[in-house]
Amino acid sequence: MTENLKKTTVSRDYTDNIIKSMTDTLIVVAPNALIQSVNQSLCNLLGYREEELSGQPISKIFDESVIFKRTTNGEVIINESVTSMESVYLSKDSRKIPVLFSKSIMCDSEKKLVGIVCMAVDITERKQAEEARRRIEVKYRNIIKDIFKFIPDGLLVFTEQLELYRKNKAFQNLITVSSKRLNYTEEELAEKIYEQVKYKVSNRDSTEIIVMEKGANEAEKLVLELNVTRLSFPEEETNVVVSLKDITDRNRAEENLKNAYNELKATQKASLNIMEDLCRRRSELAVALEEKEVLLKEIHHRVKNNMQIVSSLLKFQSENIKEAQYIEMFNECRNRIQAMSLIHEKLYSSKDTASINFKDYVEDVANNLFRFYKISSAKIKLVIDVADITFNIETSIPCGLIINEFISNSLKYAFPDNREGEIKISLHKIEKSNVELVLSDNGICIPDDIDFRNTKSLGLRLITNLSERQLDGKIELDRSHGTEFRIRFEELKYKDRIKYT
């Protein structure tokens, strides 16, 4: 562009329009080192208006020595043309802006100097990218230096021509330890390794390096795992980095494993026969276990049915009794039988015939009692806070009877005269294998003069005896806010009923 301007004689207005329309920054400097004209791109870059720069010395925004030289008496001497030289503009807010600068001399038709055209491209982003790349290179050089220093494997760095450039301390330690074992001097062993490394790198062979013991015996050997990486940085020669890991022990273990495998293979036929026998027995056991599960389900089903028959018999018998006291006794017995029958029903319908989900069981027992005593849940609220716990039959029956007795007693005695209230059943695991059962209501509490461990009430005696004797637990009574029983126990283990001889 500037060459065309030099060679073409045009009007000043035409030249000014060309200057102002350019996207690169452009300055026309007069022979006296004053700014004659600038384009809008320069104004935008430096933050000046055109009138603020016109007539000003070029040194205001640029190092004039790139364009002129001054003699000792201040005379201006024009330098030769400059192409693609890095320099710096100075903005209005004193920022230094890196640019790629070019300069051409403009003469008129008589070869007389009329001005200097200066063009520049803002290279700020390029400079920032170069600086970012430089920082990344420094960072990774430091990382590589740390890796080289602290990595436990031996490292060798070669030039592209496979001349040894560097080795780390781990490699030297490897040479020191292994040379004694293989009857080499350190220099001899290192040279043997260098030779094999160069050969394998040249032939792109990544197999292991093996150095046998020096001498006729060759009982010992050194086995090294080889990894080759080519590492390069911009404008630098590529380095070949070789890591050497001592896998002698692993190699020996693999050989021992191979020998053991061969021995195992020799007895494979016998082992297969044993496996076939085990599979047959396992199949027989699976069939026997399935038959046992079916039998257990049938037993639970029949026990449940028998208990229902007993309950029905008690109901029919109670219809012939007139005394309310005895009718109540029969009904309480029926509820206890129903609570135990429900356990066998749960076991019968469960996939696991050894235990039941106790939360479902508690809800069913409580709802059955509310229906039996015709109590509305709107009047007496039932709160069940039971964790996802399963119990075996040994624990489920006494625990279920305790809950049955407490809810029955609360519904009968705690809320007289249609009083409203709340019954709460809580069951959670605490302290390792312990379980805490909390039974509470906010109705009329058990009188202070009644010792719940020594009372004529069958319900309280059942709660106490089942807690302490059946569950081997501890029971506490709190009468401060109604009635609250707190029972702690562990799940009972199954005990053999039949002694085999």
pLDDT tens-digit map of 145-194: 666 666 788 888 888 888 887 888 888 888 888 888 888 888 888 888 88
pLDDT band at residue 93 using 50, 70 and 90 as cut-offs: very high
Higher pLDDT, 113 or 179: 179
pLDDT band at residue 221 using 50, 70 and 90 as cut-offs: confident
Q: What is the crossing angle of helices 186-202 and 169-182, to 10°?
A: 110
* Strand, helix or coil for residue 286: helix
Find the angle CA(417)-CA(317)-CA(336) to the nearest 5 degrees.
60
Length of the chain: 501
Find the angle CA(235)-CA(236)-CA(239) to the nearest 5 degrees.
150
Torsion of CA 262, 264, 265, 270, to 10 degrees: 160
* Mean pLDDT to the nearest integer, 338-348: 66
Instruction: For 28-43, write each residue's pLDDT tens digit.
Output: 888 888 898 888 888 9
Residue type, 196: Q
> What's residue 485's pLDDT?
93
What is the domain class of 2-122 according to CATH?
A: alpha beta
CA distance 82 to 101: 8
> What's residue 246's pLDDT?
84
Choosing among 3.40.50, 2.40.160, 3.30.450, 1.20.950, the CATH entry for 153-257 is: 3.30.450
Which residue in 313, 335, 317 sits closest to 326, CA to CA? 317
Facing residues of 240 across strands?
Answer: 158, 230
Q: What is the CA radius of gyration of the chain?
A: 50
pLDDT for 499 beyond 50: no
- What is the model's pTM? 0.40
* Strand, helix or coil for residue 200: helix
Facing residues of 425 across strands?
Answer: 384, 439
Reading the block at residue 127, the tokens are: 């400079």
pLDDT band at residue 70 using 50, 70 and 90 as cut-offs: low
Higher pLDDT, 81 or 117: 117
> What's residue 317's pLDDT?
65
> What's residue 80's pLDDT?
65
User: Given this chain, do its domains 2-122 and 153-257 carry the same CATH topology?
Assistant: yes
Domain ranges of the chain: 2-122, 153-257, 267-353, 355-501
Least confident of 10-24, 50-64, 119-133: 10-24
> What's residue 333's pLDDT?
72
> What's residue 71's pLDDT?
64
Domain spanning 355-501: CATH 1.10.1040.10:
no
> What's residue 441's pLDDT?
93
- Asked whether the beta carbons of 363 and 384 are under 8 A apart, the reply is yes
In DSSP notation, 403-444 reads HHHHHHHIIIIIS-TT--EEEEEEEEEETTTEEEEEEEESSS
pLDDT band at residue 500 using 50, 70 and 90 as cut-offs: very low
Above pLDDT 70, what percent of the chain? 75
CA distance 32 to 56: 11
